[in-house]
Amino acid sequence: MTTSYVEAARELRPVLEAEAADEAPLSDTVVKAMYEADLFATAIPREVGGLELSLVDAIDVYAELSAADGSAGWCLMASTTAAAFFGAWGDDDLVADMFGGGVPIAAGQFAPKGTASPVDGGFRINGQYQFGSGINHAQWAGAGLMTEGDNPEYRLAIAPVDTAQITGNWDVLGLQSTASYDYHFDDVFVPEGATFEFFAPERHRGGPLFDLGVLVITASGHAGFAIGLIRRALDELRIKAAGGHQRMAGRTTLADSERLQYDLGVLESRFRAAHLWVRDAFARAEASAEAGSPDPDAMLEARQATTFVTQEGADIIRQAYLHAGTVGLREGALNRCFRDIHAGTQHAVVSPMATLDFGAHLIATAPTGEGGT
């Protein structure tokens, strides 16, 4: 059963599609529409004004938005998850500042690209960052840091966006409208309560799902993004086929092509299998947290299911693009899906690391029995 917020995301499709652009950042119209529908609150704890949807419902919201426009879905999932981290794991002073005026829009790169020098009450941070998706319309900017000293820690920090220097540099294949600009912090003070340890955050607010940590919550956004793009690309191919489209060198229309019929059946099956694994893995991970003991195996599966649906999705969409012929080459939804999914495959969250970890886990948990040849 869909939530009202999934339906709200679906209802925004006409606005997002009408405003979708190749080079310009997300329009104010799109940002305002998503904000007024409360979708920037999707993942944020209820105690600070968020919706705190379940991971599966949040994935559905991201998928609906991404199906309409990958850049819109990407910016929203990046903002709501980043803001959720600090709503759950930041101290009371930060929350009063960051959420006092309502749900904020956040952006930033959390790879440890900067340093944090301990000072009285917090840190002075310095670092060069990339991929600040939506930073041009954000109020807060995040940063991944390694603390200086004898026992360095990997911490995430957040600061008002006007303390960052935004330098542009976003000439890319896909997700162009995310405006994922480079930015840097130069000797900016951040209170300790506006930071937390990456691998061991302490939950102050929000439900047990926040005990799943940064990687699983981040992965939910990427899973929804990929699901939305795959669904849209396959639907576009079906529409072209049902509409009587025939490639210039084709002997039949797409609808009458047995090759297309067979391949479409395979592509749809691959998508549904990956989609169901995503839903199952995240539901089990969240259920384990609700039961009081987050299951590392389920958490690993959620990360791998996200990697799988993204990498599988790139091939599914490529096959759809090839079947569509020059229709896919021209500007339109299928063209954007093709470019956006390939941009999304380059994110660290869907890198081979999760797959390597998953494979090692499968070996470590192999059933007992006779081995050898």
pLDDT band at 121 (very low <50, low <70, confident <90, very high): very high
Contact at 8 Å (CB) between 233 and 338? yes
Nearest of 345, 220, 241 to residue 285 by alpha carbon: 220
The residue among 245 and 237 whose pLDDT is bigger is: 237
Per-residue pLDDT at 366 exceeds 70: yes
Examine the pLDDT at 119 and tell me if it is beyond 90. Answer: yes
Res 225 pLDDT > 50: yes
Question: Would you place residue 2 in the very low, low, confident or very high pLDDT band (cuts 50, 70, 90)?
Answer: low
* pLDDT tens digits, 132-188: 999 999 999 999 999 999 999 999 999 999 999 999 999 999 999 999 999 999 999
Q: What percent of the chain clears pLDDT 70, i.e. is strictly above it?
A: 98
CATH class for the region spanning 4-89:
mainly alpha
Q: Tokens 């990456």 map to which residue?
A: 198
For domain 106-197, the CATH superfamily is Butyryl-CoA Dehydrogenase, subunit A, domain 2 (2.40.110.10)
Average pLDDT of every residue of the chain: 95
Give the model's pLDDT for residue 249.
66
The answer to whether 30 touches 15, Cβ cutoff 8 Å, is yes
Going by pLDDT thresholds of 50, 70 and 90, the confidence category of residue 310 is very high
Confidence of residue 248 (pLDDT cuts 50, 70, 90): low
Specify which residues 158 forms β-bridges with. Answer: 142
Q: Using the predicted structure, report yes or no on whether residue 19 has a pLDDT greater than 50.
A: yes
Compute the Cα dihedral for 353, 357, 358, 360 and give only its sign: positive
Residue extents of the structural domains in the chain: 4-89, 106-197, 208-364
If you compute the radius of gyration of the chain from its CA atoms, what whole number of angstroms results?
21
259-292 pLDDT tens trace: 889 999 999 999 999 999 999 999 999 999 999 9
**The token pair that represents 34 in the structure block:** 């998503």
Separation CA 100–CA 95 (nearest Å)? 7
Q: Is 208-364 a domain of CATH 1.20.140.10?
A: yes
Task: Please tell me the predicted confidence (pLDDT) of residue 61.
Answer: 98
Average pLDDT of the segment spanning 303-312? 98
CB atoms within 10 A of CB 102: 11
Q: Which helix (H) or strand (E) holds 108?
A: strand 106-119
Per-residue model confidence (pLDDT) at position 256: 80
Six-digit token string for 135: 């930073």
Closest CA to 278 of 306, 253, 250, 298: 306
CB within 8 Å of 160: residues ≥ 6 apart: 139, 140, 141
